[in-house]
Structure 1
């Protein structure tokens, strides 16, 4: 497996009272394509 270039652990994003992302964890590795897509298809 290639080296991690970005590691995110337990991230939460809030906008006022809206929790947009709750407890997100992922690893982006060199030579891989990583995308985050919301429930309505927005990225």
Structure 2
């Protein structure tokens, strides 16, 4: 299967606050995928890391085969 988004143990900390902790997911080409959850759950932070706006504290992520770091 061809993955357009892959995350493994993606983590982001802001000082002493863990915003995203050990997120792992895969999204296949053509698949519709949504991030849902309450306010403050880290959805926007995950998208910012995938877009390359924020650097992950730990873990790895690729979008279309390119590392987001």
TM-score (norm 1): 0.68
Q: Which ranges in structure 1 are unaligned for 5 or more consecutive residues?
A: none
Q: Matched residue pairs, number?
A: 42
More helix by share: 2
More strand by share: 1
TM-score (norm 2): 0.48
Higher-Rg structure is 1
Cα deviation code 1:7-29 (max 9, x no counterpart): 11001111111101101000011
Q: Which ranges in structure 2 are unaligned for 5 or more consecutive residues?
A: 44-69
How far has the Cα of 1:38 moved from its partner?
Answer: 3.8
Runs of 4+ in 1 over 4 A off after TM superposition: none
